[in-house]
Structure 1
Amino acid sequence: MTKLEAGSLYRQCDPDSLSFGTTGEIDESTTVIGQERLSASLEFGYGMGKDGFNIFALGPNKINKEDHLKEFFEEKAAEQPAPPDICYVNNFDDHYKPDVLELPAGRGSELHKQMEQLVDDLVPTLTSAFETEEYQNRRQSLQDQVQQEQGQTFEDLKNKAKEKGLALVRTPAGFSFAPLNEEGEIMGKEEIQNLSEEKREELEEKTRELQEELQKVIQKMPSNRRKARERLKELDEEIATYAIKDLFNEIRDNFSELEDVQDFLDDVEIDIVENVQSIMGNQNQSGQGGNQLIQMMGGQQPQQQKGGRNPVLDRYRVNVMVDNSEMEGAPVIYEDNPNYKNLIGRVEYQSKMGTLSTNFNLIKPGALHRANGGYLILDARQILLEPFAWEGLKRALKSGELKIESLGESYSMVSTVSLEPEPIQLDVKVILTGERLLYYLLCEHDPEFSKLFKVEADFEDEIDRTDENNNRYAQLIAGLIAKHELRAFDNKAVARVIEQGSRMVGDNEKLSAQTNDITDLLKESNHWAGRKERDVVTKEDVEKAIEQKIYRSSRLRDKVQESITRESIFIDTSGEAIGQINGLSVARVGNLMFGRPNRITARVQLGKGEIIDIEREVDMSGSIHSKGVLILKGFLGERYAGERPLSLSASLVFEQSYSHIDGDSASSAELYALLSAIGDIPLKQSFSVTGSVNQHGKIQPIGGVNEKIEGFFDICDQRGLTGRQGVLIPRANEKNLMLRGDVVEAVKEGDFHIHSIETVDEGMEVLTGMEMGTPKEDGTYPGDTINYMITEKLDQLAEKRKAFAKSENSQE
Structure 2
Amino acid sequence: MAELEADSLYRKCNPASLEFETTDEIKNSTTVIGQDRLSASLEFGTGMGKDGFNIFALGPNQINKQDHLKEFFEEKSADQPVPSDICYVNNFDDHYKPNVLELPAGRGCELHKQMDQFIDDLVPTLTSAFETEEYQNRRQSLQEQVQQEQGQTFEDLKNKAKEKGLALVRTPAGFSFAPLNEEGEIMGKEEIQNLSEEKREELEEKTQDLQEELQKIIQKMPSNRRKARERLKELDEEIATYAIKDLFDEIRDNFSELDNVQEFLDDVELDIVENVQSIMGNQNQSGQGNQLMQMMGGQQSQQRTSKNPVLDRYRVNVMVDNSEAEGAPVIYEDNPNYKNLIGRVEYQSKMGTLSTNFNLIKPGALHRANGGYLILDARQVLLEPFAWEGLKRALKSGELKIESLGESYSMVSTVSLEPEPIQLDVKVILTGERLLYYLLCEYDPEFNKLFKVEADFEDEIDRTEGNNNRYAQLIAGLIDKHELRAFDKKAVARVIEQGSRMVSDNEKLSAQTNEITDLLKEADHWADKSENGQDIVTYEDVEKAIEQKIYRSSRLRDRIQESINRDSIFIDTSGEEVGQINGLSVAKVGNLMFGRPNRITARVQLGKGEIIDIEREVDMSGSIHSKGVLILKGFLGGRYARERPLSLSASLVFEQSYSHIDGDSASSAELYALLSAIGSIPLKQSFSVTGSVNQHGKIQPIGGVNEKIEGFFDICNQRGLTGEQGVLIPSANEKNLMLRNDVVEAVQKDQFHIYSIETVDEGMELLTGLDMGELQEDGSYPEGTINYKITQKLNQLAEKRKAFSKSENSQE
By the TM > 0.5 criterion, same fold? yes
Paired amino acid for 2:67: D
- Say if 1:31 and 1:192 are closer, same or farther in 2 by CA, change over 3 A: same
Cα distance in 1 between the residues matched to 2:167 and 2:20: 122
Cα deviation, residue 376, structure 1: 1.0
The C-alpha deviation readout for 1:632-659, integer Å capped at 9, x for no partner, is 0000001111122100111111222222
Match in the other structure for 1:241: 241
Deviation at 1:153, TM superposition (A): 3.6
Shift of 1:97: 2.1
2:431 corresponds to which of 423, 433, 440: 433
In 2: Cα distance, 1:567 partner to 1:136 partner: 111
Whether the 8 Å contact between 2:287 and 2:307 is mirrored in structure 1 is no
Q: CA deviation at 1:174?
A: 4.2
Which residue is equivalent to 1:288?
A: none
Q: What is the Cα deviation at residue 535 of structure 1?
A: 0.6
Match for residue 561 of structure 1? Answer: 561
Q: Is residue 742 of structure 1 aligned with residue 735 of structure 2?
A: no
Q: Which residue of 1 aligns with 2:494?
A: 496
- Please name the residue that 2:294 is paired with: none
SS at 2:144 equivalent: helix
Matched with 1:170 is 171
Q: Distance in 2 between matches of 1:420 and 1:605?
A: 82
Paired residue type of 1:580: Q
Matched, 1:76 2:76: yes
Letter in 2 for 1:227: K
Matched, 1:215 2:226: no
Distance 2:175 2:383 in 1: 76
- How far apart are 1:82 and its partner, in Å? 0.9
Aligned to 2:766: 766
Q: Which residue of 1 aligns with 2:139?
A: 139
Answering whether residue 300 of structure 2 is matched by residue 280 of structure 1, we say no
SS of residue in 1 equivalent to 2:290: coil
Q: Does 1:117 align with 2:117?
A: yes
For 1:654-675, what per-residue CA distance to the aligned partner results, in whole angstroms no more than 9, with x for missing partners?
Answer: 2222222111001011111111
Q: Select between 50-59 and 135-144 the one with higher mean Cα deviation.
A: 50-59
* Aligned-residue offset at 1:269: 1.2
1:343 aligns with 341
Q: Using a 3 Å threshold, how does the CA distance of structure 1 residues 187 and 332 change in structure 2: closer, same or farther?
A: same
Distance 1:151 1:783, change over 3 A: same
- What are the residue-to-residue correspondences of 1:499-518 with 2, within 5 Å? 499-518=497-516
Structure-2 separation of matches of 1:134 and 1:766: 119
Partner of 2:458: 460
Q: 1:352 to 1:179 in 2, by over 3 A?
A: farther
Measure the CA separation in 2 of the matches of 1:45 and 1:790. 62
Aligned position for 1:379: 377
Q: What amino acid is aligned across from residue 115 of structure 1 in structure 2?
A: M
1:15–1:495 Cα contact (<8 Å) kept: yes
Give 1:245 shift: 0.7
- Residue pair 1:167, 1:186 contacting (<8 A) in 2 also: no
**CA distance in structure 1 between the partners assigned to 2:556 and 2:167 by the alignment:** 116
On the 8 A contact 1:281/1:304 being kept in 2, the answer is no
Q: Which residue of 2 aligns with 1:366?
A: 364
Question: 1:395 is matched with which residue: 371, 393, 396?
Answer: 393
Tell me how far 1:303 sits from its aligned partner: 10
- Look up the equivalent residue of 1:658 and give its one-letter code: Y
Residues in 2 aligned to 1:580 and 1:555: alpha-carbon distance in whole angstroms: 29
Q: 2:56 aligns to what?
A: 56
What residue is the counterpart of 2:298 in the other structure? none
Cα pair 1:508 1:737 within 8 Å, conserved: yes
> Which amino acid is 1:528 matched to?
W
Identity %: 87
- Which AA in structure 1 matches 2:90? N
Equivalent positions of 1:222-621 (< 5 A) are: 222-282=222-282, 306=290, 309-532=307-530, 533-621=533-621
Alignment-mate amino acid for residue 135 of structure 1? Y
Aligned partner of residue 568 in structure 2, secondary structure? coil
Inter-partner Cα distance in structure 2 for 1:631 and 1:513: 36
Find the residue that maps to 1:668 and give its secondary structure.
Answer: helix
Q: 1:558-707 residue pairs with structure 2 within 5 A?
A: 558-707=558-707
Question: Shift in Å at residue 469 of structure 1?
Answer: 1.6
Determine the C-alpha separation between the residues in 2 that align with 1:581 and 1:185: 143
Alpha-carbon displacement from aligned partner over 1:346-389 (angstroms, at most 9, x marks no partner): 22223344443322212211111111111111111111222222
Task: Provide the secondary structure at the position in 2 that maps to 1:595.
Answer: strand
Change (3 A) 1:80 1:691: same
Q: Deviations over 1:70-112 (max 9, x none)?
A: 1111111111121111111122222222221111111111111
> 2:697–2:760: 8 Å Cα contact kept in structure 1?
yes
Q: CA deviation at 1:556?
A: 2.2
- Cα deviation for residue 417 of structure 1 reads 2.7
Identify which range, 231-240 or 780-789, moves more after superposition: 780-789
Once residues 90 and 571 of structure 1 are traced to their aligned partners in structure 2, the CA distance between those partners, rounded to angstroms, is 82
SS at match of 1:281: helix
**3-state SS in 2 of match to 1:762:** helix
Gaps in structure 2 of 5+ consecutive residues: 292-305
CA–CA distance in structure 2, aligned partners of residues 274 and 304 of structure 1: 24
Mark the CA change 1:549 to 1:197 in structure 2 (over 3 Å): closer, same or farther.
farther
Q: CA deviation at 1:161?
A: 5.2
Deviation at 1:609, TM superposition (A): 0.3
> Does the aligned pair in 2 maintain the 1:169–1:178 contact within 8 Å?
no
Q: How big is the shift at 1:781?
A: 1.9
- Match of 1:608, SS state, is coil
Give me the CA root mean square deviation.
2.3
When residues 190 and 544 of structure 1 are mapped into structure 2, their CA distance, relative to the original with a 3 A threshold, is: farther
CA-to-aligned-CA distance 1:185-213 (integer Å, 9 cap, x gap): 76777777777766666665555444444
Letter of the 1:698 counterpart? K
Q: Per-residue CA shift, 1:119-155, capped at 9, x if unaligned?
A: 1111111111101110010011112222333334444
Aligned to 2:808: 808
> Which stretch shifts more, 142-151 or 661-670?
142-151
Is the contact between residue 775 and residue 781 of structure 1 (CA under 8 Å) also seen in structure 2?
yes
Greater shift in the superposed pair: 24-33 or 359-368? 24-33
Are the structure 2 counterparts of residues 96 and 644 from structure 1 closer, same or farther at C-alpha, using a change threshold of 3 Å?
same
Partner Cα separation in structure 1 for residue 773 and residue 329 of structure 2? 73
Report the Cα distance in structure 2 between the residues aligned to 1:303 and 1:225, rounded to whole angstroms: 31
- 2:123, 2:279 within 8 Å by CA — same for their partners in 1? yes
Distance 2:494 2:467 in 1: 15
Indicate if the aligned counterparts of 2:692 and 2:699 stay in contact, CA closer than 8 A.
Answer: yes
Contact 2:86 2:319 (C-alpha < 8 Å) held by counterparts: yes
Cα offset for 1:753? Answer: 1.8
Report deviation, 1:551: 1.6
C-alpha displacement at 1:557, in angstroms? Answer: 2.0
How many residues of Structure 1 are paired with residues of Structure 2 in the alignment? Answer: 795
Query: Does the aligned pair in 1 maintain the 2:166–2:177 contact within 8 Å?
Result: no
List alignment gaps of at least 5 residues for structure 1: 285-300
Question: In the TM superposition, what whole-angstrom CA distance separates every residue of 1:542-562 from its partner, at most 9, and x where no partner exists?
Answer: 011111111222222222223
Whole-Å Cα distance in 2 between the matches of residues 351 and 20 of structure 1?
63
Q: Which one is further off, 695-704 or 92-101?
A: 92-101
Taking the aligned partners of 1:521 and 1:604, their CA distance within structure 2 comes to 50
Give the TM-score, by structure 1 length: 0.94
* Aligned-partner Cα distance in 2 for 1:451–1:675: 56
Query: Take 1:23 and 1:272, find their aligned partners in 2: how far apart are those partners?
Result: 66
Q: Give the direction of change, closer, same or farther, for the CA distance of 1:26–1:167 in structure 2 (3 Å limit).
A: closer
Deviates more, 1:202-211 or 1:632-641: 202-211
SS in structure 1 of the partner of residue 573 of structure 2:
coil
- Indicate conservation of the 8 Å contact 2:283/2:308, yes or no: no
Say if 1:611 and 1:652, in contact at 8 Å, map to a contact too. Answer: yes
1: CA distance, partners of 2:778 / 2:218: 138
Q: How far, CA to CA, are the matches of 2:205 and 2:565 in structure 1?
A: 131
Tell me the distance in 1 between the aligned counterparts of 2:701 and 2:130.
94
The one-letter code sitting in structure 2 at the alignment partner of 1:328 is E
Residue aligned with 1:97, SS: coil
Change (3 A) 1:178 1:649: farther
Counterpart residue number, 1:287: none
- Structure 1 contact 501–511 (Cα < 8 Å) conserved: yes
Distance in 1 of aligned mates of 2:30 and 2:61 = 20
Alignment partners' CA distance in 1, 2:581 and 2:184: 141
